[in-house]
Copies of this chain bind each other. A is one copy, B any other.
Amino acid sequence: MDDVLLTDKNPLPDVLPERLAAQLRFVVEVDRLKTVVRQSPLVAAERRENDAEHSWHLALMVILLAEYADEPIDVGRTVQLVVVHDLIEIHAGDTPLYDTVGAETQVEREQAAADRLFGLLPADQAKRFRDLWDEFEARQTPEARFAKAMDRLEPLLLNWMSRGGTWHTPGVTADVVRARKSVIADASAALGEAARAVIDEGERRGWLRPSP
């Protein structure tokens, strides 16, 4: 993708105040998140999920499952973290959880993408969005830990519903999945146990390769 903005092709009316114009250009630009396709299969349709759908699903799960957080969380703030968490994939692309090659360059690619995307915003808001994204990535707050747990739990449920999904990725075994999903238990013992039950039963049914 080049540096042409979507609004470059059809600029917004030029009577808008500059700060608002920059914000609305950003609103249009992030429409691209709806085209970043993930590995996870939808349950309700025969296609893969995109990042916008995924981010919405996490937001709903935060509202629904917050009661299982082991530390008290601010639900509204946690929802904001998940709404923003994948924006940088507009430039960096999705790095699937089981893609070990992509993971090597992931941090660098995502940092550059964050500079580029949030740089479209007025400086104060660029910082605010960057702070939300950094908080999510660092997992040092109860809100960020819970947000990350949702980010791991949602695809687990989608994989279960498709009787395997990305569990069929070469090299993935039950123990690999258990290790990747351990961050769920960092936020919630109850949800960590539920994730474990799904993985164990998936392995028992042969939807997930046993560990060697």
Contact = CB atoms under 8 A, between A and B. Distances in A.
Most B CB contacts (10 A, CB to CB) among A6, A63, A121, A163 go to A63
Given A42-B34, A44-B32, A56-B83, A24 B76 contact: no
Q: Binding site of A, secondary structure by majority: helix, strand, loop or mixed?
A: helix
Interface stretch (A7-15, A92-100, A102-110, A170-178): A7-15
Interface residues of A, number: 63
A16 B64 CA distance: 16
A80 interface: yes
A111 interface: no
Interface string A154-198: 100110110100000000000000000000000000110010011
Interface string A65-86: 1001000001111011001100
Contact of A52 (B31, B56, B194): B56
Contact of A79 (B16, B42, B76): B76
A75 B80 contact: yes
Contact of A20 (B35, B125, B194): B194
